[in-house]
């Protein structure tokens, strides 16, 4: 269905809105259910397209699932019926790769389609080489043929692994695989994202012996078997950040509740640098937007640095700033696709490789624009909220992958935004 969002810009957003649970914590948590024959109960899985994709993927592997949005989701893989994550699912969601580690650890065999040319690109097209090198260190035989990775291991053995770069799902795959390996695994240069720490907490609740999840060094002592657990997923720091930028870019006054400010320090600092007035009380973050944002430079980096998943949203804000901003994207190649669409709304943005130079303008003009990937679509929605006139964002399915009814949340804050089928 070619849904699109139609936005009448110019209304300052005001009010309170609740952050949903984190997509990037829910997906690995769901995959962790492969590690045990017992039920894993996740209390607050968000209603997202990527969650549905992961659910379908796990059901294809033999999971029984029940429950869903608004209630707890139960996943139980009493028996692994299939060892293959098929291309048609993996090609729609790069994160499918997080079934590789747990599937291999549980059964000794895993076949996962290589992620295709994901829109935001992997370094030189080797999007999961760190995952594979790590699994090989744990004793897996890895072969790549016909677009699939095949991993085999009679029993994984603990090892010392230092990844060449910080990889979030790579860390998650290796932590899950090591949980059932024989002996101790030490992951160095591990990703410190809150979603990694959250997965660590779930695995420990399932009986894993893990120290240091959420730090750059994780020690995992393998156990013979894991059990079920009940787990509440952390708030989505990227959705919360997106909602705060909506308050800032519209010159409004927005409070995001059920958030985790501790996971958002870089985003909050950058919003304040742009002139937003922030107040943090417990799990509530209030953002009063400036009349006009100030320019600020951004360099994306692994947690706790500025998150790449907020880069497009901040570019939309900086496009209206009083001055020149430089954005350096160090995590993904080709993650400036929103710039071309923002330019069509009047933004003055020059991109060269991993650097974008943004010369702030007084206002955007509403325009028909096209979403290219999940966070790029959020960037365009934010620009539409501030633009003069009407903005139509097409290919909204990108947005639905990672935001639970974003337009309803924005409507509740006074935005004039409609989804047109
Ligand atoms: C996770 O992706 C997130 N997804 C991404 O969020 C996020 O942008 C990214 O981490 C960085 O924070 C999930 O957690 C499901 P990486 P991931 O492995 O794990 C390269 C969103 O919008 N790399 O940390 O796939 C890679 O190409 C999504 O919610 C290799 O070269 O990212 C990238 O350039 C988008 N080889 C960089 O490292 C590898 O084996 C970081 O990737 C692994 C990664």
Check which CATH number belongs to the domain holding 158 and give it: 3.65.10.10
98 CA from centroid of ligand 1 (Å)? 11
pLDDT band of 120, cuts 50, 70, 90: low
In a shared domain, residues 227 and 257: no
In a shared domain, residues 292 and 415: yes
272 CA from centroid of ligand 1 (Å)? 27
CB of 130 shorter than 6 A to ligand 1 = yes
User: Is the pLDDT at 356 greater than 70, yes or no?
Assistant: yes
418 CA from centroid of ligand 1 (Å)? 31
CB of 128 shorter than 6 A to ligand 1 = yes
Q: Which domain holds residue 211?
A: 23-232
In a shared domain, residues 203 and 58: yes
Q: What residues act catalytically?
A: 118
CB of 192 shorter than 6 A to ligand 1 = no
295 CA from centroid of ligand 1 (Å)? 27
pLDDT band of 117, cuts 50, 70, 90: low
103 CA from centroid of ligand 1 (Å)? 20
In a shared domain, residues 93 and 213: yes
In a shared domain, residues 206 and 338: no
Q: What is the pLDDT of residues 183-197, one digit of tens each?
A: 999 999 999 999 999
- Residue 336 contacts residue 356 (beta carbons within 8 Å): yes
Q: What is the pLDDT of residues 319-334, one digit of tens each?
A: 999 999 999 999 998 8
Judged by average pLDDT, the poorest of 27-31, 134-138, 397-401 is 397-401
Nearest ligand 1 atom, CA 121: 27
In a shared domain, residues 209 and 326: no
Strand, helix or coil for residue 158: coil
User: Is the pLDDT at 123 greater than 70, yes or no?
Assistant: no
CB of 48 shorter than 6 A to ligand 1 = no
User: Is the pLDDT at 124 greater than 90, yes or no?
Assistant: no
Q: What is the pLDDT of residues 204-254, one digit of tens each?
A: 999 999 999 999 999 999 999 999 999 999 999 999 999 999 999 999 999
In a shared domain, residues 176 and 239: no
User: Is the pLDDT at 314 greater than 80, yes or no?
Assistant: yes
At residue 7, the pLDDT reads 98
At residue 172, the pLDDT reads 98
In a shared domain, residues 187 and 321: no
Which has the closest alpha carbon to 254: 265, 239, 233? Answer: 239
pLDDT band of 281, cuts 50, 70, 90: very high
CB of 374 shorter than 6 A to ligand 1 = yes
At residue 299, the pLDDT reads 98
In a shared domain, residues 411 and 287: yes
Strand, helix or coil for residue 29: helix
CB of 170 shorter than 6 A to ligand 1 = yes
At residue 380, the pLDDT reads 98
At residue 337, the pLDDT reads 94
In a shared domain, residues 130 and 38: yes
Total number of domains constituting the chain: 2
Q: Whose CA is nearest to atom 39 of ligand 1?
A: 128
Q: Whose CA is nearest to atom 23 of ligand 1?
A: 127
Q: What is the pLDDT of residues 282-297, one digit of tens each?
A: 999 999 999 999 999 9
CB of 122 shorter than 6 A to ligand 1 = yes
In a shared domain, residues 106 and 141: yes
Q: Which residue has the higher pLDDT, 122 or 317?
A: 317
Q: Which residues contact 126 (CB under 8 A, 6 or more apart)?
A: none
């Amino acid at each position: 269905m070619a849904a699109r969002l139609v936005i009448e810009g110019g209304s300052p957003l005001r009010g309170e809105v609740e952050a949903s649970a984190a997509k990037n914590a829910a997906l690995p948590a769901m995959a962790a259910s492969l590690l045990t024959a017992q039920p894993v109960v996740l209390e607050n899985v968000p209603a997202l397209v990527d969650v549905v994709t992961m659910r379908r993927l796990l059901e294809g592997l033999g999971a029984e699932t029940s429950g869903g949005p608004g209630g707890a989701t139960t996943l139980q893989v009493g028996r692994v019926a299939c060892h293959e994550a098929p291309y048609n699912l993996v090609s729609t969601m790069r994160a499918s790769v997080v079934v590789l580690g747990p599937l291999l650890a549980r059964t000794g065999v895993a076949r996962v389609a290589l992620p295709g040319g994901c829109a935001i690109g992997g370094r030189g097209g080797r999007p999961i080489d760190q995952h594979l090198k790590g699994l090989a260190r744990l004793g897996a035989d890895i072969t790549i043929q016909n677009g699939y990775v095949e991993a085999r291991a009679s029993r994984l053995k603990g090892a010392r692994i230092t990844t060449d770069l910080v990889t979030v799902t790579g860390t998650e795959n290796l932590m899950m695989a090591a949980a059932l390996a024989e002996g101790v695994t030490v992951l160095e240069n591990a990703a410190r994202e809150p979603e990694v720490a959250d997965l660590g907490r779930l695995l420990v609740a399932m009986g894993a012996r893990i120290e240091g999840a959420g730090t750059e060094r994780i020690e995992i002592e393998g156990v013979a078997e894991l059990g079920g657990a009940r787990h509440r997923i952390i708030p989505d720091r990227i959705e919360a950040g997106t909602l705060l930028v909506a308050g800032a870019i519209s010159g409004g006054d927005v409070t995001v509740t059920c958030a985790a400010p501790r996971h958002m320090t870089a985003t909050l600092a950058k919003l304040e640098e742009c002139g937003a007035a922030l107040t943090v009380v417990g799990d509530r973050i209030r953002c009063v937007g400036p009349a006009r944002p100030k320019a600020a430079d951004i360099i994306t980096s692994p947690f706790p640095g500025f998150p790449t998943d907020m880069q497009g949203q901040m570019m939309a804000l900086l496009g209206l700033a009083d001055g020149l901003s430089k954005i350096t994207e160090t995590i993904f190649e080709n993650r400036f696709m929103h710039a071309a669409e923002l330019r069509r709304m009047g933004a003055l943005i020059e991109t060269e490789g991993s650097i974008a130079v943004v010369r702030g303008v007084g206002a955007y003009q509403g325009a028909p624009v096209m979403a290219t990937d999940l966070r790029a679509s959020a960037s365009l929605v934010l620009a539409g909220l501030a633009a003069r006139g009407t903005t139509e964002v097409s290919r909204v399915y990108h947005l639905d992958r990672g935001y639970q009814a974003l337009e309803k949340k924005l409507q509740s804050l006074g935005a004039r935004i409609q989804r047109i089928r």
